[in-house]
Amino acid sequence: MTGTAKKVVVFDYGFGNVRSAERALARVGADVEITRDYDKAMNADGLLVPGVGAFAACMNGLKQARGDWIVGRRLSGGRPVMGICVGMQILFERGIEHGVETEGLDEWPGTVGPLEADVVPHMGWNTVEAPEDSRLFAGLDADARFYFVHSYAVHDWTLEVTNPTIAAPRVTWSTHGKPFVAAVENSALWATQFHPEKSGDAGAQLLTNWIGTL
């Protein structure tokens, strides 16, 4: 790695494809480390929070590793954080699985609930509808496809920004049965419901775009 490579920590709290994320980030030129070390996670140029499995289990694991506190402290200082799959879902206010409600990190209002579709889980490649001014999807064609594996999602975006000096979040949608939130760009906090680390060249371009903002 060169001296100019951005340092990215893949937060290892027991839930997520950390090795796949590490390889994908290294592919696009990041200096990557998998760790739950507090100082390293706080001081990295970027923090990536993966997630697989149940919302409640991920939140429990994140709290045990003090990841909830790390994410909050980084964001309060404008330090970039990116969530993937359930790592995105836990950024919302709450998740409901099998009738059990679990508090999330509450960075955004909204509820993660079951997909409203005939076929669940949503597994495989799908397109997205990104805003024209998206930085996350810059350089990607409108028909670019990304890899999804999930049974839950956010179907309604409710955050309203009334202060004209604050940029409104850029929200990207996809559809499986009913439209759901596929990605969010909100100041230092970005997230995707799909797996960019499993999405080939399109995913590599997306990660390149994120690295370029660090």
Residues classed as catalytic: 85, 195, 197
- List C-alpha distances in Å: 65 to 6, 13, 41, 90, 150: 24, 6, 11, 15, 24
- List C-alpha distances in Å: 37 to 10, 30, 73: 10, 18, 14
d(CA 34, CA 22): 7
d(CA 103, CA 114): 16
* Cis ω before 121 (30° cut-off from 0): yes
The tokens of 85 are what?
A: 């799959």
- List C-alpha distances in Å: 93 to 111, 180, 193: 6, 16, 16
What is the H or E stretch that residue 82 is in? strand 81-84
